[in-house]
Amino acid sequence: MLRAGQAQAWEGVKVFSFDVDGTLVSPGFVDCVWLQGIPKAYAEKEGLSFEQAFEYVKSEYDKIGEHQIEWYNIDYWLRKFDLDIPYETLFKKYKDEIMIYEEVESVLTVLKEEGYELILSSNAATEFIEFQIKPIKRFFSHVFSATSDFGEVKKTNGFFARVCEILDVKPQAVVHTGDHWVFDFLNPRKIGITAYYLDRARRRNVKDEEKKDDEFIISDLSELLDDPVR
C-alpha cells in the first residue's frame, strides 16, 4: 500500500495512464509478429528464403513509414502481401513471446486498491493491445489506441486531451507513464498531465537542458510508488 506521505503526494490525481509495449509488456511479441511471422508466411507463399522475404517485407514497411496509419494496420499488410491467414493465427503462434514485466501486476494492484482509475494509452492497434494484456486487463477501465480509436499515428497532446475529455477529468488529475520521450513524456506534459519517462534499459543520457526533468525519469514502474513527485 502507499504510505501516507505518498498518498498525499498524489492528492488531486484520479487517473493513472500507461503505455503498453516497452512499458507493461516487452516488445518481443510485436517484433515476432511483424519481423518473423509475416516474412515467414510470405516466404512460404512465394517460395523464397526467409532472408529474401524479410528484405522485401521490410522494404515495403519502410515505404509506408510510421507516419502513415497503414503502418499500424496488420490487416492492411496481410492484404498487401496477399497472405491468406488471419492475424489471430499469427498472434496465437507467438503468444508465448508475451512477457509482462515483473513489477507490473504488483504496482497496478497497489494503485487500484488505492482507488485510482487505471487506463491504457497506446499507439498500438487495439488488437495488439487486447491480445497482450489479457492477464492484466482486469485492472483497466479504458483502452485507448491512438491509431484504432482516433486515426492518429502518434500520441499527440491532442490525443491526450481527447482522452481527458472522454474520462471527464482535467489533465492535472492524470499521471501518464511510457517509454517514448516525445509521445509519452513531452506531449502529455504540454497539456498539464504529470508524465514519467520509463527508461528500462537505463541507456538514456540526460542532456544538460533536460536535467531539470531527471526526477521524472524512472527505470522501473515501482518507482511510481517509491518516490512520487511532491
- Taking residues 125-148, report their average pLDDT: 97
> Running DSSP on this structure, what letter comes out for residue 154?
S
Per-chain mean pLDDT for the chain: 91
**Phi, psi (rounded to 5 degrees) for 168:** 60, 50
Q: Distance between CA 100 and CA 59 in Å, rounded?
A: 30
Number of CB atoms found within 10 A of residue 75's CB: 12
- The rounded percent of the chain whose pLDDT value lies above 90 is 82
Q: What is the pTM of this model?
A: 0.89
Number of CB atoms found within 10 A of residue 67's CB: 8
Where does the pLDDT of residue 209 fall: very low under 50, low under 70, confident under 90, or very high at 90 and above? very low
| Cell numbers found for residue 73 | 494496420
The pairing of beta strand 217-218 with beta strand 117-122? unpaired
Q: How many helices (H) and strands (E) does the chain have?
A: 12, 6
How confident is the model at residue 35, as a pLDDT? 98
How confident is the model at residue 205, as a pLDDT? 56
Which regions of the chain carry the CATH code 3.40.50.1000? Answer: 4-26+99-226
Q: What CATH architecture is 4-26+99-226?
A: 3-Layer(aba) Sandwich (3.40)
